[in-house]
Homo-oligomer: A and B are copies of this chain.
Amino acid sequence: MASLLRLPSLLSPSKPLLRRRLLAARLAASAASRGQASASAGAAAAETRGGDREGQVTPRSADFNAWYTDVIAAAELADYGPVRGTMVIRPYGYAIWEAIQDYLNVKFKETGHSNMYFPQFIPYSFIEKEASHVEGFSPELALVTIGGGKELEEKLVVRPTSETIVNHMFTKWIQSYRDLPLMINQWANVTRWEMRTKPFIRTLEFLWQEGHTAHATLEEAEKEAMQMINVYTKFAYEHAAIPVIPGRKSRVETFAGANRTYTIEAMMGDKKALQAGTSHNLGQNFSRAFGTQFMDENGQIEHVWQTSWAISTRFVGGIIMTHGDDAGLMLPPRIAPIQVIIVPIWKKGDEKAAVLEAVDSVQKILKEAGIRVKVDDSELRTPGWKFNHYEMKGVPVRIEIGPRDVTNKSVVVSRRDVPGKQGKEFGVSMEPSILVNQIKGRLDDIQASLLQKAITFRDSNIVDISSYGELKEAISEGKWARGPWSASDADELKVKEETSATIRCYPFEQPEGTKKCFMTGNPAEEVAIFAKSY
């Protein structure tokens, strides 16, 4: 029942208002009977675990959560900040975020968006203007009440998301249909006062991009919202090797202030779902609240139609939990800060110069081919230590070069994703065109193989169900349940309370044929996917 306690917190970046509202009443009635104390103690233990024990990682199968926090510490991805719930993103973790940024930033510009920056302090009164929005966000706000030594007349909200301030400015900038569409994005930090935090997945402050657009018609806004969830889907599959399931959120799980929320749902290594990105069709909700109007081609004054969409540093957590294993992180080559690590090996002093010369030459060959390569020639650590270290860091390919390799003009190549001898190949030629070809081929293989492995894992853990009993069974086995659904919001909440599973989405990809709701027996238009989630 511990996951119920996590409910009021945010499934970033979407904030389902209706679920919160429905649950608030029930929780109030029954909170006392649930083991809150033990759940909190578990969280506290997780917080202190995984400090400086380099290389000592809890096996993934033994305790997935402990494994996760251990890997984050051992691979130097992040650390806890001094304020409860905050996170320091360390260089290696930040480099993964930069890889995500580099890809998406180009795609956003290609699809017609410009970057800009809005202030993070929002007058409290703004948050109150859109009724669902304030209800969804007010329990999680950080408020600035003192500035320059003085009590402020109006409290300032540290942005939890920027729809309100964006609309305030859009109202100034938009007059005519000529000003539309207005399509912008910002890379920024956001703050949500979460009670139960987990590095990358749910932190008091996190980094994200938030896109905001305004259009002349509902159709254009809908097209934009769909376009952006498709950008996210493509990124997840092709770069992060995460086979997300794109779909539409249920009404209960829709963002506070949106008409429709689209989502990409990823299955983590423990089979829990992670909402990895969202795109909202906001309709005219914010434009009505903020008076964002334009004159159309016929001289009529209309409210604009809007979207917003976001991916956050949470995605880094998704990468860790999708691909990692007992040896640590495993990074898809396309987003790996280091794609190839070269470890020189020598025993006698007179071997060193020749080995390092070969290492240098191999590094240059790979660098010129556009491969992200690093040499670790430190004499403070043994080759064995380095093998473990870069496995922990999830570097896709390792090259070893020793005296015998120098003589043979070849190198030893190991794959991170294939453990032991099977993934190790001796005698790969140092001849530039052969070497580059071999390494690029392996990187491509690893990229494809990680995706295929994740697809297989995902598909073998989704159960098609046709009754509530079957759903209960699937969920109790930790799996996802997929079945026809047309029942009420109250029924959806009942499932949540009884099984801890929520509707993750109505997937875009739907089976053909007529369907009957597994809960009510009524006709259903769609199947929904139910799962426990982060």
Contact = CB atoms under 8 A, between A and B. Distances in A.
Interface of A: 79, 81-83, 86-91, 93-95, 97-98, 114-123, 126, 138-149, 155-156, 158, 165, 168-169, 172-173, 178, 184, 188-189, 191, 193, 195, 204-205, 207, 380
A88 B114 contact: no
A281 to B, nearest CB: 23
Given A82-B123, A91-B184, A169-B79, A144 B158 contact: yes
B140 A148 contact: yes
Given A94-B116, A118-B88, A188-B189, A145 B147 contact: no
B88 A193 contact: no
Contacts of A173: 79
List the number of copies, as a whole number.
Answer: 2
Given A116-B91, A119-B86, A139 B146 contact: no
Given A98-B115, A116-B91, A79 B144 contact: no
Given A118-B81, A123-B82, A178-B380, A143 B144 contact: yes
A116 B89 contact: yes
Contacts of A193: 147-149
Contacts of A147: 141-143, 193
Q: Which 7 A-B pairs have the closest CB atoms?
A: A148-B193, A91-B114, A86-B119, A81-B119, A143-B146, A89-B117, A147-B193
Contacts of A83: 119, 121-123, 156
A365 B148 CA distance: 54
Nearest to A94: B116
A147 B205 CA distance: 12
A76 to B, nearest CB: 9
Given A142-B144, A165-B81, A172-B79, A189 B120 contact: yes
B142 A117 contact: no
A191 B95 CA distance: 25
A43 to B, nearest CB: 15
Contact of A94 (B89, B117, B138, B144): B117
A94 B90 CA distance: 26
A82 B126 contact: yes
A123 B204 CA distance: 14
A244 B122 CA distance: 36
A381 to B, nearest CB: 10
Nearest to A150: B193
Given A86-B121, A94-B115, A120-B189, A145 B146 contact: yes
A141 B172 CA distance: 30
A75 to B, nearest CB: 14
Q: Is the interface of A mostly helix, strand, loop or mixed?
A: mixed
B115 A91 contact: yes
A151 to B, nearest CB: 10
Contact of A95 (B86, B114, B120, B123): B114
A139 to B, nearest CB: 6
Given A91-B114, A98-B115, A189-B189, A205 B120 contact: yes
Contacts of A145: 143-146
A204 B144 contact: no
Contacts of A155: 146
16 contacts: A79-B169, A79-B173, A82-B165, A82-B168, A83-B121, A88-B169, A91-B114, A94-B114, A94-B116, A140-B148, A141-B149, A142-B156, A143-B144, A143-B147, A147-B193, A178-B380
B91 A195 contact: no
Nearest to A115: B94
Given A79-B173, A87-B119, A143-B147, 8 more contacts: A83-B121, A86-B121, A89-B117, A95-B115, A120-B189, A141-B149, A142-B156, A143-B145
A188 B83 CA distance: 18
A233 B218 CA distance: 50
Contacts of A149: 138-139, 141, 193
Nearest to A187: B187
A139 B150 CA distance: 9
A63 B120 CA distance: 32
Nearest to A140: B148
A172 B88 CA distance: 12
Contacts of A143: 144-147
Contacts of A123: 82-83
Nearest to A52: B172
A270 B117 CA distance: 28
A148 B114 CA distance: 33
